[in-house]
A and B are shown apart, each in its own frame.
Chain A
Amino acid sequence: MTPKIPDVLADLAGLVARNAMPDVDPAERASALGLSSMLFSIAAQEWDRAAARLVEENGAVRALLAEAPAVLGEGELAGRLWDLSAGRDEDLRISALETSNAALRAALIELHAAVEALPGDAARRLDAAIWAELRTSTERRQIAGAPV
Chain B
Amino acid sequence: MSHPLDQRLAAYAAGRMPDARDVRVEGLSRISGGASRETYRFRLIWTDPQGAAQERKLILRRDPPASLIDTERRIEFEAYRAFHGSAVPVPQMLWLEEESDALDHPFFVAEEIAGFQAGPGLLWGEPYAGSLEELGRRKWTILGEIAKADPAALGLTEVMEPVALDACWRRELDYWEGVLDEDEAAPLPIIRAAIRWLRANPPRPALKLSVVHGDYRTGNFLYDDKGAIHGVLDWEMAHLGDPLEDLGWSFNPVWSFGRGLAGGLLSRRDAVAAWEASSGLKADLDDLHWWELFNCVKGQAIWVSSARAWIDGGNREPIMVYPSWALQNAQDRATLQVMERL
Contacts and interface: CB of A to CB of B under 8 A. Distances in A.
Determine chain A's interface SS by DSSP, over half rule: helix
A25 B3 contact: yes
Given A2-B185, A135-B342, A138-B190, A27 B30 contact: yes
A96 interface: no
Interface string B184-220: 0111011011001000000000000000000000000
A60 interface: no
A1 B311 CA distance: 12
Contacts of A112: 189, 192-193
Given A2-B324, A25-B30, A109-B189, A146 B318 contact: no
B257 interface: yes
B329 A147 contact: no
Contacts of A131: 341
A102 B187 contact: yes
A145 B258 CA distance: 8
Interface string B292-317: 00000000000000010011000010
A147 B29 CA distance: 30
B46 to A, nearest CB: 24
Contacts of A130: 189
B196 A32 contact: no
B163 to A, nearest CB: 28
Most buried by A among B33, B185, B330: B330
A108 B326 contact: no
B256 interface: yes
Contacts of B32: 27, 30-31, 34-35
Nearest to B311: A3
Interface in B5-56: 29-33
A15 to B, nearest CB: 7
B341 A146 contact: no
B337 interface: yes
B114 to A, nearest CB: 15
Contact of B322 (A11, A38, A134, A138): A38
Contacts of B324: 1-3
A148 interface: yes
A92 interface: no
A135 to B, nearest CB: 6
B245 interface: no
A138 B332 contact: yes
Contacts of B30: 25, 27-28, 31
A27 B31 contact: yes
Contacts of A39: 318, 321-322, 325
Contacts of B57: none
Contact of B29 (A25, A35, A98): A25
Interface of B: 1, 3, 29-33, 185-187, 189-190, 192-193, 196, 253-258, 307, 310-311, 316, 318-319, 321-322, 324-334, 336-337, 341-342
25 contacts: A2-B186, A2-B324, A3-B311, A3-B321, A11-B316, A11-B318, A12-B318, A26-B29, A105-B186, A108-B187, A109-B187, A109-B189, A109-B192, A116-B196, A134-B190, A134-B341, A137-B190, A141-B329, A146-B258, A147-B253, A147-B254, A147-B258, A148-B258, A148-B330, A148-B333
Given A35-B322, A130-B189, 8 more contacts: A2-B185, A3-B310, A28-B30, A113-B196, A138-B342, A146-B333, A147-B255, A148-B258
